[in-house]
Amino acid sequence: MTTSGPSDRPQRGTERQSFLERRREKIRAEIERNRRGEYTVPTWVLALALVLIVGGWLALIFLA
C-alpha cells in the first residue's frame, strides 16, 4: 500500500493562482471582444426589459 505524499498532489497555492489566471484571461478576452464591438446584452437584461414593457402595457389597459 502506498500513500500519496504532498508531491503527488498539486499545491493549493498553485491551484488558486491558476484559477485567478484563468479568470483574468476570461476578463481580458471579454474586454477585447467588447472593444471590437462583439458585445451582447445579457439574457437577464432582455428578460427584465420584456417584463417591464408587458407590465407597463397591462397597467395601461387595466388602470385606464
Provide the pLDDT for residue 17.
Answer: 80
pLDDT of residue 11: 61
Whole-number Å distance between alpha carbons of 41 and 50: 13
pLDDT in tens, 17-53: 899 999 999 999 988 988 898 778 889 999 999 999 9
Task: Look at residue 13 and tell me whether its pLDDT is greater than 80.
Answer: no
Three cell numbers written together for 41: 446584452
pTM above 0.75, yes or no: no
Query: Is residue 4 scored above 70 in pLDDT?
Result: no
Spacing of C-alpha 33 from chain mean position: 14
